[in-house]
Chain A
Amino acid sequence: MYEDKVNLIKSIQLVGFAVVEMQLYLDMNPCDVNALSAYNSYVARQQNLITTYENMYGPLRSNTSQSCYPWQWINDPWPWEMVY
């Protein structure tokens, strides 16, 4: 159960890291078609993973995800409390 959650977070971190690096590359190489399509597919994967995570475990972002009742944002674990 907790392992599923951790694995999902790790997948989000993996894809998120790729997104960040591709973004920096594309800033300087905006006409690289292959890089752009890789970026777009990483972003789509990231969005799916985040949606899956948030539906199961609560909001990952402070102001772009909805919350069920009661307000979920205050729940554990915070990033520095996570055990991998």
Chain B
Amino acid sequence: MWVYEKKLEYPADVERTNPRLAREIITQYGGPDGELSASLRYLTQRFTMPSNYSKALLTDIGTEESVPIGYQ
């Protein structure tokens, strides 16, 4: 289950709007090679992992990769 923390992982100040930069960032996050699809891939691949190491690592990386939406 998703547990929300009311803080960013890293401090980020939004000083002004920048549509071109915003488009780059949203593509990095949600685009075809973005972190969102990577995180879902990790969280799906972990079901076929043979070792406890890899089950844990894919769970934790998949969780962290899905975080950047928190930068919003």
Contact = CB atoms under 8 A, between A and B. Distances in A.
Nearest to A26: B56
A27 B57 contact: yes
Contact of B6 (A23, A27, A61): A61
Interface string B52-70: 0100110011001000001
Interface residues of A, number: 25
A79 B56 contact: no
Interface in B5-45: 5-14
A24 interface: yes
A10 B11 contact: yes
Contacts of A12: 7
A5 to B, nearest CB: 11
Interface string A1-37: 0000000011011001100100110011010000000
Given A13-B9, A27-B60, A61-B3, 14 more contacts: A9-B11, A13-B11, A16-B9, A20-B64, A24-B60, A24-B61, A27-B53, A27-B57, A62-B4, A78-B6, A79-B6, A79-B70, A82-B7, A84-B11
Interface of B: 3-14, 53, 56-57, 60-61, 64, 70-72
Interface of A: 9-10, 12-13, 16-17, 20, 23-24, 27-28, 30, 59-64, 73, 78-80, 82-84
